[in-house]
Amino acid sequence: MSKEVPTNTTTAWAASYEEEPSQASVPPQANGVTALKPLGWAPVNWAKANLFNTPLNTALTVLCLAILWFTVPPMVNWLLLNAVWSGSSEACREAAGACWSIIAVKHRLIFFGTYPYEEQWRPFLACGLFVAMLGISGVRAFWRPALSVAWALVLIAMGVLMWGGILGLTYVANDRWGGLPITLMLSVFAIALAFPLSILLALGRQSSLPAIRTFCIGFIELMRGVPLVSVLFMASVMFPLFLPEGVTVDKLLRALAGLTLFTAAYLAEAVRGGLQAIPKGQYEAADALGLSYWQKTRLIVLPQALRIVIPPIVNQFISCFKDTSLVTIVGLYDLLTAATVATTDPEWRPYFAEVYVFAGMIFWLFCFSMSRYSQWLERLANRYTRR
């Protein structure tokens, strides 16, 4: 893919990669130098030109190699070579490496929390459907009206699977949901609801109507001025105190509302950055064409603005995904809470690190996919703007 793009973009790409710490010792002019010296064995030449070309770089290279030498082998030993993969906790006590048997024993608690054991194929299937749908929605060939119909069907199927109560499935109230389904649903729904809300907030913040502008500024600044934990705490603990007797709002819904509003405020600021980055001439040209406000926004402003802000938006999405782990403060059983609970079993308590590594890998998998997808999306969106 990167071979097809013009040279000026390649340099830009290279520049962004050079900021990564693992390549810190590579000087910026590296690419040009290698191209000019075809003599000798290529890797040696490359190393001479890039890693050992000055005394400082030589020292840095040696230092990096030393750090790698002291950290990587023990880590590989712990993670893989000396690890125990199955069996009892007694076997783990004698081993020097990681005890992955805790994952073998506890994985269903970690993934599905307190969902009834015999019925756990239901959240498994629901998560599978959900992730598959998310994957499909990312592929350009599927961007057509039928996709929204498919989404509606999948959401209904998920609801049926998770709640049950019909089609011979036993009813499972959502206070028993837990683990991965909670994390996935909270984050995806929060993102999906926050995104349109944030566009409205960003537009409202730029509005010429004082009431709307004041409201939007007030909302954004209030949400940004408060930690997410306190927003969640307000939504879950304080909010019910103000409700009349007998009226309760579902705990999951309250946390979702808190998370959505919080994410929307941050996203709105990212979107506003995009709105302000568009040259004034674009607005004026749209006005000159006689477009109405909504036509102008929909056809001229937003397509350009949103393209600019893909990186900060995805950044916010990733942050929202990880923020869902804070719902433990309001007693929801998300993936990380379930993982923590799995470590409270006295028999397995010494092996908490393994559980957190495992949970970390799951989070990383989702976040990394999001960030790779955003890079692809960025290239797609910028394809038509290259000159």
Q: Give the Cα separation of 275 and 220 in Å (integer).
A: 16
Residue 125 as a binder of another protein (CB under 8 A): the answer is no
Interacting residues of 301 by C-beta distance below 8 A, sequence separation 6+: 275, 278, 282, 283, 286
On whether the CB atoms of residues 318 and 367 are closer than 8 A, the answer is yes
Ranges within 218-247 binding another protein (CB under 8 A): 233, 236-238, 240-245
Q: State the number of binding residues for another protein (CB under 8 A).
A: 45
Binding span for another protein by CB under 8 A among 17-25, 56-64, 75-83, 328-336: 328-336
**Tokens at residue 343, please?**
């470590």
Binding mask 153-192 for another protein (x = CB under 8 A): --------------------x-xx-x--------------
- Per DSSP, the chain holds a count of helices (H) and strands (E) of 19, 0
CB of 181 to another protein, least distance (A): 12
What is the SS3 string spanning 327-344? HHHHCCCEHHHHHHHHCC
d(Cα 243, Cα 221) in Å, to the nearest integer?
Answer: 26
Query: From the list 51, 92, 101, 112, which residue makes contact with another protein (rule: CB under 8 A)?
Result: 112
Non-local CB neighbours of 144 within 8 Å, separated by 6+ positions: none
Binding residues among 131-160 for another protein as defined by CB under 8 A: none
Which of 100, 106, 158, 186 binds another protein (CB under 8 A)? It is 106
Could you tell me which residues come within 8 angstroms of residue 387 by beta carbon, excluding any fewer than 6 positions away? none
Among positions 37, 48, 93, 224, the unique one binding another protein when judged by CB under 8 A: 93
Strand partners, 99: 84
SS3 99: strand
Binding mask 346-365 for another protein (x = CB under 8 A): xx-xx-x-------------
Which is closer to another protein, CB of 300 or CB of 332? 332
Please pick, from the candidates 40, 73, 74, 116, the single residue that binds another protein as defined by CB under 8 A: 116
- Residue 84 pairs in a beta bridge with 99
CB closer to another protein out of 48 and 93 = 93
Phi, psi of 2, deg, nearest 5? -70, -20
Q: How far is the CB of 115 from another protein (least distance, A)?
A: 6
Tell me: does residue 120 bind another protein (CB under 8 A): yes
User: Which residues of the chain form contacts with another protein (CB under 8 A)?
Assistant: 93, 105-106, 108-109, 112-117, 120, 173, 175-176, 178, 233, 236-238, 240-245, 248, 251, 328-333, 337, 340-341, 343-347, 349-350, 352
